[in-house]
Structure 1
Amino acid sequence: MRKFWLAAATAALTVVSCNNEKDPFLIGQGQVGNLSKTVQVKELDSVFALDSVVKIAVTEDQIVAGGDVEIYDKTGSLLLVLTPHAPKADTNTIQTIRIVDPRFKTEKGLTADGTYKTIKENYTVSDIYSTLSSVVVNLNETDVYVVIDKAQLPESLRYTSNKIEATQIPETAKFKFMMVSWDQEEKAEE
């Protein structure tokens, strides 16, 4: 009988510990997988120890200061593109993240290869900005925003600079980009 209870307790602990493991592809408030908004650029190699971290220098100054950082999985597939706050030092945190891999998702099912239908059914749109070729859709209750190519919109909205309403975007509109934006509140508080 004692062995039964010992085995049951071990099984229960195993189930509980497995449930506490962090989903490496979950996007939450201040979190993208294992990356949090407090992680510094110099810590990226340890956060993505099983992946490849590639620093991209666009200008001569960024070779020293650091520019965008691309994260690839072990198969060579691009996962994320990270842009640090004012790239001046390895101690900077991440400002924006472009989600490339569709395995990354929010708790409500929003992914990089998703459609506007997921937003319409699960989120409140805070505002919509129109550019020459795209529409930027900002969401309440999350750090995520999406960019939709105007080619996904009705013909009457593609070539206008007029404000586009959430109800005018078709449910079938696919995302051009899925982005996460983190401000620098923590630095201001320090």
Structure 2
Amino acid sequence: MNYKFIALTIITILLASCSQSPDVNLISKHSIGLLTDSTQIKDLQLVFPNDSIVKLSESNEFTNTINDIEIYENSGKKLLTLTPKKTFDSTSTIKSIQIHGEHFKTAKGLNSKSTFKSIKDNYKISSIQNTLKNIMVSVNEINAFFTIDKDELPAELRFDMNLKIEAIQIPDEAKIKGFYMQWY
């Protein structure tokens, strides 16, 4: 009698776990929803069946060829900008992603509308780079980096590109300007 109850309980648990679908808005080290670091360009329509996929191709004598792919909701809101590892190759995988849609979140709740406080409270900051107009905050734990506009920083940190900026100098309320993932 007890064996039947235990067997029935195990079967119920197995069936319940099989019916759970993956979170299509979860950002992890190797995926954003159903998009993974092994997804090929030719399979994007399967990953985003209800969204619009726009392939941008541009080349001129001053720049390399740009082969970005933008993903839009049907309402026209931009969700993601994807950069393939190889240009004009449908079997290529994704090299980098800019996350525009705020509904994409990490397991710790970080999204494109978060603040610096969300980054530092939830992740180990790997590095901070000082550029002309932004700072780049890298988090290797999730293969991500974030840009923060220097206008969000105190005045004494905005203009010297050689200045080493530490996490403690960045205000908690500094808004994320860009949320990027890199898959190597």
- How large is the RMSD of aligned CA atoms in angstroms? 2.3
For residues 4-153 of structure 1, what are the structure 2 equivalents within 5 Å?
A: 15-18=16-19, 20-59=20-59, 67-153=67-153
Q: TM-score, normalised by structure 1?
A: 0.83
Ranges in structure 2 where 5+ consecutive residues have no aligned partner: none
**What are the Cα deviations for residues 85-135 of structure 1, in whole angstroms up to 9, with x where unaligned?**
131411111111000000001001110000001111111111111110000
CA distance in 1, matches of 2:36, 2:134: 28
What is residue 182 of structure 2 aligned with on the other side? 181
Runs (5+) with no aligned partner, structure 1: 184-190
Q: For the Cα contact (< 8 Å) 1:127–1:139, is it kept in 2?
A: yes
Q: Distance in 1 between matches of 2:25 and 2:107?
A: 10
Structure 1 CA distance for aligned equivalents of residues 51 and 149 of structure 2: 30
Structure-2 change in CA distance of 1:89 and 1:138 (3 Å): same
- Relative distance call for 1:60 and 1:134 in structure 2 (3 A) is closer
Aligned partner of residue 142 in structure 2, secondary structure: coil
User: 1:55, 1:66 within 8 Å by CA — same for their partners in 2?
Assistant: no
Q: SS state of the match for residue 42, structure 1?
A: helix
Q: If each structure's helix is expressed as a fraction of its own residues, which one has the higher value?
A: 1
CA contact (8 A) 1:153 1:173 kept: yes
Answer yes or no: is the 8 Å Cα contact 1:123–1:140 preserved in 2.
no
Q: What is the number of residues matched between the two proteins?
A: 174
CA distance in 2, matches of 1:73, 1:11: 37
In 1, Cα distance between equivalents of 2:126 and 2:10: 47
Given the superposition, is the C-alpha separation of residues 66 and 11 from structure 1 closer, same or farther in structure 2, using an over 3 Å criterion?
farther
